[in-house]
Each structure stands twice: as C-alpha cells, then as structure tokens.
C-alpha cells in the first residue's frame, strides 16, 4: 500500500464530466479561492468507499497523499486521518494533530476543512488549551482561519459555546465570504442548542455582521426573529 497505488485508485474511480462540474463548484479558476486545484470527478460517497479500502494506510503514506495535486486524493487522506484519530490512542491522536497542523496549506478548500477540522483540531483541543486555534484565527491563510472556526463545531456539539462566539466576533471583520459563511454556520449551530445565546450575540453584533454571516446565523430562527434582525441589517 503506497502513495502511487492509492492515487491511481482515485483517478480510476473518477469521472471526467463530474470533474468539470467540481472544478467550477470549488472555484478553481484564475483568482478564485481554489485556483489551480485538480479534480478527477470522484464524489464524496465514492471517496468514502476508498477510505474503507485504505483505512490502514501508514501515516507516512497519508502525509504524502496530502501533497497530491488531486483534490480527491487529499480528501481521502484526511478522511482516513479522521477515522484513525477517532479510534486512536492519545499518542496516535497527538501525531495526527501535529501532522494536520503542519499541512494546513494543503487542506486548501472548504470541504477539506469542514470534513476534518472539527474532529482532528476540535477533538484534540477539546480538553486542552485553545491557543493554537486563536493563532490560526489571526493567520493570513484563509484555510487556517476556516480551520479555527470549524474546530469550534466539536465544542458546540458538547455544549461549549464561548470559544465559538469569540471566533465569530473575530470573523466580523474578515474580508472573505467563506469566513462569513463559516462563522454564521457556527452561530446557527449554537442557536439550535440555545436560542438565547444566539440572540444575545445578534443583539450586540447584528449591525456589524456581514450580510452572509447574518443570514446564515438566523436561518433556523422563527420568522419574526429573522425579520427583526434583517431590519437591523438595513
């Protein structure tokens, strides 16, 4: 089981027509956030089938797969790492976390972040200092900042909202729409668990919130609440 074998399996399972659609969907054109990324047209369910097949790939192989120019190969590597993290010992989890943090420039689209950061970064830091997340939240690299916000999803699921709220406040002045979507999504998740906490945040920050962040955050609120906060927007 080596890097070339796995990469070839991903390519064989791909679909050139779907690859064209995915390249558009993930904004791979000049000047877009996914510029230059390559797709072979393998959808997530197909990738997960290969994840099961290569679930025991050695960590060094998974590390090299993250250097692949093919998006779906990097996704496969990350999904295997997530599964290994969930069932790993503390030492194995630490190694996977360290590997992940060393490769964030290769975790370079929103799906790669969203399917891995909550489990690996959020999971590892759940009972540890959250300082690494705040360093990432101040990074110039978009994907570092998105990883920081998505890590908080793990803590939200455990009923811990304070770090997610701080990260959302830090995202108020972020210029990138992908960050507005991420922060709004996490606020919406908080609201699903405690509407009062979300509304307190909105009462204080709705006027400052980028349009996309606000719309994502209020999506699950009652219509009367949505109208109230949209009036604040205007």
Instruction: Note the pTM of the prediction, 2 decimals.
Output: 0.95
Considering the domain boundaries, does residue 110 fall inside one? no
* 207 Cβ neighbours under 8 A, 6+ residues apart: 232, 233
Instruction: Label residue 232 by pLDDT band (50, 70, 90).
Output: low
Task: Tell me the residue range of the domain where 51 lies.
Answer: 1-104
Domain match, 60 and 36 both: yes
Considering the domain boundaries, does residue 111 fall inside one? no
Domain match, 140 and 190 both: yes
- 70, 104, 138: which is the final residue of a domain? 104
Domain match, 80 and 184 both: no
Considering the domain boundaries, does residue 92 fall inside one? yes
Instruction: Label residue 231 by pLDDT band (50, 70, 90).
Output: confident
Report CA-CA distances (Å) from 186 to 51, 148, 181, 198: 27, 11, 9, 10
Closest by CA position to 203, among listed 193, 218, 223: 218
Give pLDDT tens digits for 89-140: 999 999 999 999 999 999 999 999 999 999 999 999 999 999 999 999 999 9
Give the H or E element holding residue 15: none
Domain match, 227 and 123 both: yes
The whole-number average pLDDT for the span 216-228 is: 95
The whole-number average pLDDT for the span 44-51 is: 96
- 74, 104, 134: which is the final residue of a domain? 104
Give pLDDT tens digits for 176-204: 999 999 999 999 999 999 999 999 999 99
List phi, psi (to 5°) of 38.
-110, 140
CB atoms within 10 A of CB 93: 17
Considering the domain boundaries, does residue 164 fall inside one? yes
């Amino acid at each position: 089981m080596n890097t070339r074998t796995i990469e070839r399996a991903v390519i064989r399972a791909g679909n050139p027509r779907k690859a064209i659609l995915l390249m558009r969907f993930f904004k791979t054109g000049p000047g877009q956030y996914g510029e230059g990324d390559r797709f072979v047209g393998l959808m997530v369910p197909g990738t997960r089938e290969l994840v099961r097949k290569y679930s025991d790939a050695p960590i060094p192989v998974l590390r090299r797969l993250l250097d692949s120019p093919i998006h779906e190969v990097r996704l496969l590597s990350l999904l295997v790492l997530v599964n290994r993290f969930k069932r790993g010992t503390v030492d194995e989890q630490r190694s996977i976390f360290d590997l992940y943090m060393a490769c964030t420039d290769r975790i370079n689209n929103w799906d790669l972040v969203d399917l891995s950061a909550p489990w690996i970064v959020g999971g590892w830091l759940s009972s540890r200092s959250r300082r690494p997340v705040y360093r990432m939240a101040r990074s110039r690299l978009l994907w570092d900042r998105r990883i920081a916000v998505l890590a908080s999803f793990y803590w939200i699921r455990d009923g811990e909202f304070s770090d997610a709220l701080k990260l959302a406040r830090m995202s108020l002045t972020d210029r990138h729409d992908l960050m507005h979507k991420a922060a709004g999504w996490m606020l919406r998740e908080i609201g699903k668990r405690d509407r009062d906490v979300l509304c307190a945040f909105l009462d204080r920050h709705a006027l400052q919130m980028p349009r996309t962040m606000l719309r994502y955050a209020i999506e699950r609120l009652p219509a009367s609440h949505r109208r109230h906060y949209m009036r604040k927007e205007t």
